[in-house]
Amino acid sequence: MLAGACGAHASGSPRAGEPTPATRAGTARYTPTSGDVNGQALPIFAYLPPPTDTLSQASNILVTLCMATYGFTSNVPQIPPGQQVAPMYRRYGVTSLAVADAYGYHLESGSPLRTGHASPTPTMSPAEHLVYFGTPSGTPLRPPGTGTSPDASGAATAGAPAGGCVGWASRQLYGTQVDFSLPRSIETQDFFASEADATVQSTFRAWRACMASHGFHYQTPLDAAGAFKGGSDKPPSALEIVTATADVRCKGKTGLVTTWFDVESRLEERDIQHNIVTLSAIRNAMLAAERKAVTVIANGAHG
Amino acid sequence: MRRTLTLIAATLTGAMGLALSPAGAAFASTPTTPPTTTPGSAPASPSTSPNVVDGNCYSAYVCYYYESNYQGSHEGVQGDDPDLLNPPVYFQYPGAGQGTYVANNAGSGFNGYPNCYATVYYSAYYTGTSITLSPYGQAGYASPTLGPVNNNDRSQYVC
């Protein structure tokens, strides 16, 4: 199953006088256009990770403390504040005309995904690795539920806490790992249900007709982005840019993004109400961890 | 530095009921045999992506499993990748699914970055619905299904 490889037979050419991608890339910034939903949130996001900056900061304190207890006072990876996440950004594809015009479907410099970029992960000595991760250096990390994973279902490795300092810190904040299966399932189900919704399908038809008027033929906006190959190390082709700009214009003309967002939101609200007891328990677990994190930060800051 | 952290430890111990001394209960460590690891075998299909190594999932890699619940072949992918299909990334580790594309075939996964979030997207160039995995060890760092991108993992963004 190769979603996105849609068999499109796009056609088009650079407009007369069009600057080359190389001259434009690096100059455009993210500029929301009509119909953009970046900055809004789907209802299910209230029940999903990622943890907040408060939790990340508390985790940094606890992991650092744990590492120091084992004699390691530097080189500890830290989660930076303000690091992404913009879950609505590009959810329905590219929506900024300025970005499409300069980058096509490539990720622009200064995009919301680039905020709070972390430093490179420090290279650890074998001893540091063992204490931090709970696994010897050079061995793979393990998934949840296995002996050396951060949920520490197994025994500690000699010379390190169970699951490493990262696992120990996590247990101080969360107790056991929070199970996000239900909210992730709701998000999954309703994304596809919204895509199949009659109202959304109607806007897809209008978008396809609009794209066809520009000479492009794709089933959905997400197919269009997936049709261009080359990777991030190569600049977008002229064809990619004219396709992306047509895509954004057609989204604006048809109201596709706001329609899709509204339908997806409505479906999620319904399913949240049907599962409110379980979802509230998840939410409460996250809030409890948040309260512990506030205590850790307050005490750590005054220690 | 050590003294300061000891004071912090004492404060936190009082505030949260934690045992934070090296010999304390929270750090009690029973010597155990390190986990047995199986090196990744030679790939069934040579991976052409520069973002992978040997099928194992080390720190600072996003780990994908072919099947749900962290079963089957797996592969670690490093860094931002706007299209896991171009150039293709393959499952290399021995197990069900070995040799197949990672793109649009992953059933579960976890984030091995200790200091970065990792977001896996439904479509290329970070578009479509997505799942964000927290830094390693944080709540939500792993998913037994990959949620909305189950078998629809096409691009990944880290940090």
Are residues A180 and B140, on separate chains, in Cβ contact within 8 Å?
yes
Tell how far CA A182 is from the center of its chain. Answer: 18
Report the pLDDT averaged over residues B48-74.
84
d(CA A247, CA A254): 11
Task: Please give the pLDDT value at position A233.
Answer: 66
Are residues B150 and A188, on separate chains, in Cβ contact within 8 Å?
yes
Give the range with max mean pLDDT: A224-233, A285-294, B18-27.
Answer: A285-294
Are residues A228 and B103, on separate chains, in Cβ contact within 8 Å?
no
Give the range with max mean pLDDT: A217-221, A247-251, A296-300.
Answer: A247-251
Asked if B89 and B100 touch (Cβ cutoff 8 Å), the reply is: no
Task: List the 88-127 stretch of B: residues with Cβ below 8 A of A.
Answer: 103-105, 108, 110, 112-117, 119, 121-127
DSSP bridge pairs for B157: B119
Distance between terminal CA atoms of chain B?
A: 29
Please write the tens of the pLDDT for every residue from B7-57. 334 444 443 444 343 223 333 222 222 222 233 333 444 445 666 767 778
Contact with chain A for residue B41, Cβ under 8 A: no
Residues of A in contact with B131 (CB under 8 A): 184
- Provide the percentage of residues in chain B whose pLDDT is more than 70: 67
d(CA A101, CA B44): 41
3-state secondary structure A266-281: HHHHHHHHHCHHHHHH
Are residues A106 and B63, on separate chains, in Cβ contact within 8 Å?
no
Report the pLDDT averaged over residues B120-147.
91
CB-based burial label for A161 (10 Å; 0-12, 13-18, 19+): buried
Q: Which amino acid is at B15?
A: A
d(CA B17, CA A172): 10
> Mean pLDDT over all residues of chain B?
74
Kindly list the distances between the CA atom of residue A39 and the CA atoms of A24, A67, A112, A257, in Å, as whole numbers in the listed order.
Answer: 26, 37, 10, 13
Residues of B in contact with A92 (CB under 8 A): 127-128
Are residues B124 and A228, on separate chains, in Cβ contact within 8 Å?
yes
Q: Which amino acid is at B23?
A: A
- CB count in 10 Å sphere of residue B23: 9
Q: Which of the two residues, A232 and B88, has the higher pLDDT score?
A: B88
Task: Please give the pLDDT value at position A226.
Answer: 80
Asked if B1 and A73 touch (Cβ cutoff 8 Å), the reply is: yes
* Cβ-count burial A240-271 (b if 16+ within 10 Å, e if not): bbbbbbbbbbbbbebebbbbbbbbbbebbeeb
Element (H, E) at A66: helix A53-69
Contact with chain A for residue B46, Cβ under 8 A: no
Are residues A225 and B124, on separate chains, in Cβ contact within 8 Å?
yes
Backbone angles phi, psi at B65, to 5 degrees: -115, 145
Kindly list the distances between the CA atom of residue A290 and the CA atoms of A95, A174, A296, A301, in Å, as whole numbers in the listed order.
Answer: 34, 9, 10, 16
Complex prediction ipTM? 0.81
